[in-house]
Amino acid sequence: MADVAAELAATAVRAGRLRPEITVDDLLALVNGIAIRAEDDPELASRLLRIAISGVEPRT
C-alpha cells in the first residue's frame, strides 16, 4: 500500500496538485485524523477533507 500511495503522491506532485514537501505519511496522518474525528458524521468528514485540501490560509 505504501508503494502505491507513494506513486499516487508522485503523480500528484508532477501534476502540480501536491506540494513536493508533503509526504505520504503526512497525508495518511491527516486522513486518519479526519476519519477518527468524523467517524459517525460523513458531512463533517467531507467538510474537514475540503478544508484540508484547500488549506486554512486566506486566499489572496
pLDDT tens digits along 19-39: 999 999 999 999 999 999 999
Read off the pLDDT of residues 42-54 as tens digits, 9 standing for 90 and up: 999 999 999 999 9
Structural domain containing residue 12 = 2-54
Is residue 49 classed exposed, middle or buried when 0-12, 13-18 and 19+ CB atoms within 10 A define those classes? Answer: middle
Residue 43: its H or E element: helix 42-54
Q: Among all chains, which residue has been given the C-alpha cell 513536493?
A: 20
Residue 60 lies in a domain: no
Residue 60 pLDDT exceeds 80 = no
Residue 59 lies in a domain: no
Residue 13 lies in a domain: yes
Residue 35 lies in a domain: yes
Domain count, the chain: 1
